[in-house]
Chain A
Amino acid sequence: MESSESLTPVTGRRLPMQRSESTGSSPGELEPRFECPICLKCLDRPVLTSCGHRFCSDCIQKWLQKNRGCCPIDGRALDGSRDLFPDNYTRREIDQLSVVCSYPGCRIAMPLLAYDRHVSETHDQFEKSEPFLFCPFKNIGCLYQFKNPSQLNMHVEKLSHHHLQLLANSFEVLSMKVPGNVVSKEIEAMSWDPPPKEGSPTTESSVQALLKSLYERIVTLEQRNAEHELQMRLMSDELKRLRPKSDGELGLRACNGEYTWTVPDIENKVKRILMAGKRADELSSILLYSEGFYSSFNGYKFCAKIHVLPSQKPHLSLHIHLMSGEKDDFLPWPFTGKIAFTLVHPTHSALTVREVVCSRPDLKAFQRPIDLMNKRGFGYDQFVLLSDLADKRYFTADGSLRIRIQVDVF
């Protein structure tokens, strides 16, 4: 068979391929019959199974050890000692194939089997070190390496004082080396002179020393400034995160059992049910729960619920439910106390509806809740006629209702 070599690029790396007119395999691929189905590489010491499949000797042995002795292709039972035969015919065929490495400047010819090893040993290390980005201050001694440009940018931004230091050092070293350099002479002269006294006339070198120290000071101050800015940003984020939580939760705890619930945007829903009349379906019913509020800071936790079911004469029902609170363990159960339900009229206080009831120990609604909320509520199924809500204008200007719940513990 013809064994001309040709190579194909795959993700910056090249692999050998066999062009073979006889089997019709497309260019760029290892001839399928020479490929091990387990490692997908060229067959190494090929063996043939009793069911007629070829694998690398190591691959099939390893597979049979790990798994219950089935062929990885057709699942037939295979016994490692009886059903595997060295396929020396194929082995000789493969041995005769050779490739030329396609790495720039390499061009070494070798047997096909040795190719993978050659690439991993000779070229992969080179490949691996390539993607690293070096710090642009590498030449003056900054040895950091990075995988992506954003990391590099961050490094350059943050370590500017480090780089300036390196720059200053290298400048000093360099200037010492240059013979007859003015700067080196000055530095030399400085080491002979006694240290300048205060108020003495400034020489050029002392100005330079001053400049240098000022420069260093600027760098440290800038660095400190950047740190402070970061700290401030973190703290303001933290503050933003904490504020709404503490305000809301504290308000609901410290309300002393007096909770005002503004039910938003309910006017339209109520009007829709009234308009639909008999035709209103289950989808237009209203079921809303308030936030949980506490009878005292460490007291019982309640929430209010309003519910409207479309019917011939729909009512707004108003209930409260006990919810699990953190201090339930320390409270007496069932709850005993007085609950006042108030529907506030926005303009005419005479129209405000207020009902007060006492708890009854025999009701399940006042038992300690097992889940998040006691399933049984307590209150009025027909608190107010839905048509009254609209006719007597209980809604505020923005279409919400205001309901006040007062809980007194006995």
Chain B
Amino acid sequence: MAANIAAQRIKREFKEVIRSEEVAKCAIKVELVGDSYTELRGEIGGPPDTPYEGGVFTLDIKIPDTYPFNPPKVRFVSKIWHPNISSVTGAICLDILQDQWAAAMTLRTVLLSLQALMASPEPDDPQDAVVAKQYKENLAIFERTARFWTSTYAGGPPADDDCSRKISRLMDMGVDRETACVALSTYNWDLERSTEQIFS
């Protein structure tokens, strides 16, 4: 019965998201996965004037049986370079998805909050310490890295040539693309230190 309330509410929310003006502007989108209302796939367009602009980020949304009394479980499927989102698992650190959840929130407000989080990171409450450190210590490099990840994993505008060249240098040595990308991003695109790290 509890699951039924969750499913019924998701059905109603669906209408809300589909009709909302954000969908018309292609900024957010929600789709069902399979025919139950417990698994959904969301999409967020990268906010303008951020390194995520032009990318489309896919989310994995799981609706618990106790919804809306407990928050949905949301995770990024597209890899993203952001202080509050794990670059490895896509796990999100956002209060409304944890203890600040309220039953009046909906999928639409969750997606809009995530979009707002992308536009203004909170490096002091990080999910990914490496990214947060880069954000605080070297904002220019952070933006370059985030833009590169948007281009590589979220279909953003073409990537920085210098970054791509360094990635292919590592790939020439037999390193796979993802390992190369993570190492270079972590070591501020310093080719020598990244190489050292990979082969040690």
Mark A residues whose CB is within 8 Å of B: 10, 37-41, 59, 62-63, 66-67, 70-73, 75, 147, 282-283, 287-289, 371, 373, 375
Sampled A-B contacts (16; CB under 8 Å): A37-B103, A38-B103, A39-B9, A40-B9, A59-B103, A67-B69, A71-B102, A72-B104, A73-B102, A282-B192, A283-B169, A287-B195, A289-B173, A289-B174, A375-B199, A375-B200
Q: Which residues from chain A contact B105 at a C-beta distance below 8 Å?
A: 72
State the interface size on chain B (CB cutoff 8 A): 29
Type the 1/0 row for B86-125, where 1 means its CB is closer than 8 Å to any CB of A.
0000000000000001111110000000000000000000
A376 CB → nearest B CB, Å: 10
Task: Assess A283 versus B166: contact at CB under 8 Å? Given A40-B9, A289-B173, A375-B200.
Answer: yes
Across the two chains, which residue of chain A brings its CB closest to B6? Answer: A39
B4 CB → nearest A CB, Å: 9
Q: A378 vs B102: C-alpha distance in the bound complex, in angstroms?
A: 63
B1-30 interface with A by 8 A CB criterion: 5, 8-9, 12-13, 15-16
Contact of B13 among A40, A147, A289 (CB under 8 A): A40
Q: Which residues from chain A contact B191 at a C-beta distance below 8 Å?
A: 282-283
B159 CB → nearest A CB, Å: 16
Across the two chains, which residue of chain A brings its CB closest to B102? Answer: A72
User: Among the interface residues B103, B166, B173, which one has the most CB atoms of the partner chain A within 10 A?
Assistant: B103
Across the two chains, which residue of chain B brings its CB closest to A116? Answer: B8
Q: A70 vs B100: C-alpha distance in the bound complex, in angstroms?
A: 10
Q: Which residues from chain A contact B200 at a C-beta distance below 8 Å?
A: 371, 375
- 5 closest A-B pairs by CB: A37-B104, A72-B104, A72-B102, A72-B103, A40-B12
Q: Once the chains bind, are A66 and B70 in contact (CB under 8 Å)?
A: yes
Across the two chains, which residue of chain A brings its CB closest to B170? Answer: A287
Q: Once the chains bind, are B192 and A73 in contact (CB under 8 Å)?
A: no
Q: Once the chains bind, are A39 and B165 in contact (CB under 8 Å)?
A: no
Q: Once the chains bind, are B199 and A373 in contact (CB under 8 Å)?
A: yes
Q: Which residues from chain B contact A10 at a C-beta distance below 8 Å?
A: 15
Task: Assess A283 versus B104: contact at CB under 8 Å? Given A39-B9, A371-B200.
Answer: no
B111 CB → nearest A CB, Å: 17
Q: Which residues from chain B contact A288 at a C-beta distance below 8 Å?
A: 172-174
A240 CB → nearest B CB, Å: 22
Task: Assess A73 versus B173: contact at CB under 8 Å? Given A40-B12, A41-B12, A371-B200.
Answer: no
Q: Which residues from chain A contact B13 at a C-beta distance below 8 Å?
A: 40
Task: Assess A39 versus B5: contact at CB under 8 Å? Given A10-B15, A287-B173, A288-B173.
Answer: yes
Q: Which residues from chain A contact B35 at a C-beta distance below 8 Å?
A: 147
Q: Is B68 among interface residues, defined by CB-CB distance under 8 A?
A: yes
B69-93 interface with A by 8 A CB criterion: 69-70
Across the two chains, which residue of chain A brings its CB closest to B166? Answer: A283
Q: Which residues from chain B contact A67 at a C-beta distance below 8 Å?
A: 69, 101-103
Q: Which residues from chain B contact A287 at a C-beta distance below 8 Å?
A: 173, 195
B3 CB → nearest A CB, Å: 14
14 new A-B contacts at CB < 8 Å, known A67-B69, A289-B199: A38-B103, A39-B9, A40-B16, A59-B103, A62-B69, A63-B103, A66-B70, A71-B102, A72-B102, A75-B102, A282-B192, A283-B191, A287-B195, A289-B174
A264 CB → nearest B CB, Å: 11
Task: Assess A283 versus B165: contact at CB under 8 Å? Given A63-B69, A66-B69, A373-B199.
Answer: yes
Q: Which residues from chain B contact A75 at a C-beta distance below 8 Å?
A: 102
Q: Which residues from chain B contact A71 at a C-beta distance below 8 Å?
A: 102
B69 CB → nearest A CB, Å: 5
Q: A72 vs B102: C-alpha distance in the bound complex, in angstroms?
A: 5
Q: Which residues from chain B contact A37 at a C-beta distance below 8 Å?
A: 103-104
A393 CB → nearest B CB, Å: 24
Q: A373 vs B13: C-alpha distance in the bound complex, in angstroms?
A: 54
Q: Which residues from chain B contact A72 at a C-beta distance below 8 Å?
A: 102-105
Q: Once the chains bind, are A39 and B8 in contact (CB under 8 Å)?
A: yes
Q: Once the chains bind, are A41 and B8 in contact (CB under 8 Å)?
A: yes
B193 CB → nearest A CB, Å: 12
Q: Once the chains bind, are B173 and A38 in contact (CB under 8 Å)?
A: no
B8 CB → nearest A CB, Å: 7
Q: A289 vs B199: C-alpha distance in the bound complex, in angstroms?
A: 10
Q: A287 vs B198: C-alpha distance in the bound complex, in angstroms?
A: 13
B103 CB → nearest A CB, Å: 4
Q: A62 vs B66: C-alpha distance in the bound complex, in angstroms?
A: 10
Across the two chains, which residue of chain A brings its CB closest to B196? Answer: A375
Across the two chains, which residue of chain A brings its CB closest to B162? Answer: A283
A301 CB → nearest B CB, Å: 16
Across the two chains, which residue of chain B brings its CB closest to A265? Answer: B172
A138 CB → nearest B CB, Å: 23
Type the 1/0 row for B166-200, where 1 means its CB is closer than 8 Å to any CB of A.
10010011100000000000000001100100011
Q: Once the chains bind, are A38 and B68 in contact (CB under 8 Å)?
A: yes
Q: Which residues from chain A contact B104 at a C-beta distance below 8 Å?
A: 37-38, 72-73
A222 CB → nearest B CB, Å: 35
Q: A71 vs B102: C-alpha distance in the bound complex, in angstroms?
A: 8
Q: Which residues from chain A contact B169 at a C-beta distance below 8 Å?
A: 283
Q: Which residues from chain A contact B69 at a C-beta distance below 8 Å?
A: 62-63, 66-67
B113 CB → nearest A CB, Å: 14
B115 CB → nearest A CB, Å: 21
